[in-house]
C-alpha cells in the first residue's frame, strides 16, 4: 500500500480529461494536478523548451512526494525521452497509440493533435510499433487549445473549426480517430459533428487509466485508505483555471494554488 499522491500534469486544463478518468477508476487515490497555464499552449513551442518545462514540473511533483507521474499532455510525451527520468512516468501518447493500433479494423488511423505532436511523428512511430500494417493520417489543429482554455468548446467557432480540420481525414477513409491532445475530448461534440458517423473516436485517457491501475495493483502501490483528495496547482491565474475546470469536471474546484514554476 502506498498513500502518496499521483501526479498529473498538462499545459493547461486539457489534462483534466485524464484526471477525470483516473478519478473514476481510482477514487481512493489522492492527486496533485498541475496546469502550466502561464505557458499554454505548448503545441507551437520547440522541443527543447518543452523538455525544460517537463523537468521543472517533475521537480515540482517530486517536492509533493508523488508516487507516479502521469503525463497528461501529448505534446510533452512527444518531446521528451522518458528513459532519461528516474521517476515512474506514464505517457498518454503511448496509451493512445496502443489503443488505436488495437482497435482499427481497416488499418487507416486518423490522429488529430498539436503541431508539435504531429511534427514529432511520435504517434505514427508508436502505432506502427504495435501494428506495422497501419497507415496514419495526421492533422494538426492549432486553433483548438485556445478555444478550450477560454471555455468556448461549445461555441459556433469550435464547430466551424472542427469541420475545417476534419474534412481531409474524412476523405481518407479512416475508421479510427485518436484525440491526440488531452484538450480535445472537451471538444467531443464539435468533433463528433464533423467526423463521419462510423468512425471510432479514441480517447487515450481510457487505456491510460487502466494502465495506471494495473501498475499500482501489480506493485502493491494502491491507496487502500480513505484518500480521494485532489489539489490543483497552476502557473497562471488560479481563478480563471477554477472557472474552466468547473465546466470540465462538473464540480466546484476550490483548492487551486498558484506556483512559480520557474523556481524549479
Ligand atoms: N493538452 C496538450 C496535449 O495533449 C497540450 C496542448 C497545448 O498546450 O498546445 O498535447
CA of 220 to the centre of ligand 1 (A): 32
Whether ligand 1 lies within 6 angstroms of the CB of 37 is answered as no
In terms of domains, do 157 and 67 share one? no
Q: What is the pLDDT of residue 254?
A: 84
Q: Per the domain annotation, does 41 fall within a domain?
A: yes
In terms of domains, do 107 and 140 share one? yes
- Specify burial of residue 27 (Cβ count, 10 A radius: 0-12, 13-18, 19+): exposed
Whether ligand 1 lies within 6 angstroms of the CB of 43 is answered as yes
In terms of domains, do 103 and 145 share one? yes
What pTM did the predictor assign?
0.96
CATH value at residue 15: 3.40.50.1860
Residue 65: count of CB within 10 angstroms of its CB: 11
| Contact status, residue 34 vs residue 233, Cβ threshold 8 Å | yes
Q: What is the pLDDT of residue 123?
A: 98
Whether ligand 1 lies within 6 angstroms of the CB of 35 is answered as no
Q: Which residue has the cell 517533475?
A: 58
**Quick one: cell of 42?**
505548448
**Domains in the chain, number:** 2
Q: What is the pLDDT of residue 26?
A: 97
**Of 182, 204, 226, which residue sits at a domain end?**
204
Whether ligand 1 lies within 6 angstroms of the CB of 183 is answered as yes
Q: What is the pLDDT of residue 210?
A: 98
In terms of domains, do 125 and 254 share one? no
**CA distances in angstroms from 7 to 29, 33, 126, listed in the order given:** 11, 6, 24
Range of the domain at 182: 93-204
Spell out, as residue ranges, where the chain has pLDDT lower than 70.
none
Q: Per the domain annotation, does 1 fall within a domain?
A: no
CA of 14 to the centre of ligand 1 (A): 7
CA of 43 to the centre of ligand 1 (A): 6
Q: Which residues are catalytic?
A: 73, 181
What atom of ligand 1 comes closest to residue 36's alpha carbon? 8
In terms of domains, do 193 and 119 share one? yes
Q: Per the domain annotation, does 120 fall within a domain?
A: yes
What atom of ligand 1 comes closest to residue 76's alpha carbon? 10
d(C-alpha 5, C-alpha 69), whole Å = 9
- Specify burial of residue 239 (Cβ count, 10 A radius: 0-12, 13-18, 19+): exposed
Amino acid at each position: 500500500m502506498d498513500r502518496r499522491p499521483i501526479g498529473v500534469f498538462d499545459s493547461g486544463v486539457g489534462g483534466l480529461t485524464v484526471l477525470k478518468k483516473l478519478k473514476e477508476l481510482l477514487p481512493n487515490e489522492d492527486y496533485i494536478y498541475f496546469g502550466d497555464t502561464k505557458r499554454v499552449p505548448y503545441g507551437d513551442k520547440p522541443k527543447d523548451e518543452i523538455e525544460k518545462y517537463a523537468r521543472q514540473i517533475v521537480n515540482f511533483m517530486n517536492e509533493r512526494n508523488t508516487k507516479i507521474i502521469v503525463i497528461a499532455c501529448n505534446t510533452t510525451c512527444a518531446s521528451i525521452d522518458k528513459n532519461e527520468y528516474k521517476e515512474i512516468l506514464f505517457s498518454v501518447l503511448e496509451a493512445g497509440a496502443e489503443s488505436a493500433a488495437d482497435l482499427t479494423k481497416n488499418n487507416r488511423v486518423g490522429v488529430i493533435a498539436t503541431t508539435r505532436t504531429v511534427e514529432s511523428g511520435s504517434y505514427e512511430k508508436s502505432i506502427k510499433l504495435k501494428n506495422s500494417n497501419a497507415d496514419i493520417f495526421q492533422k494538426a489543429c492549432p486553433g483548438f487549445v485556445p478555444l478550450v482554455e477560454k471555455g468556448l468548446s461549445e461555441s459556433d467557432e469550435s464547430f466551424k473549426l472542427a469541420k475545417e480540420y476534419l474534412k481531409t481525414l474524412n476523405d481518407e477513409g479512416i475508421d479510427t480517430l485518436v484525440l491526440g491532445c488531452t484538450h480535445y475530448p472537451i471538444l467531443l461534440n464539435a468533433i463528433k459533428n464533423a467526423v463521419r458517423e462510423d468512425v471510432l473516436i479514441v480517447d487515450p485517457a481510457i487505456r491510460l487509466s487502466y494502465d495506471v491501475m494495473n501498475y499500482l495493483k501489480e506493485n502493491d502501490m494502491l491507496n487502500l485508505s480513505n484518500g480521494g483528495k485532489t489539489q490543483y496547482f497552476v502557473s497562471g491565474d488560479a481563478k480563471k483555471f477554477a472557472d474552466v475546470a468547473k465546466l470540465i469536471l462538473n464540480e466546484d474546484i476550490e483548492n487551486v494554488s498558484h506556483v512559480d514554476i520557474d523556481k524549479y
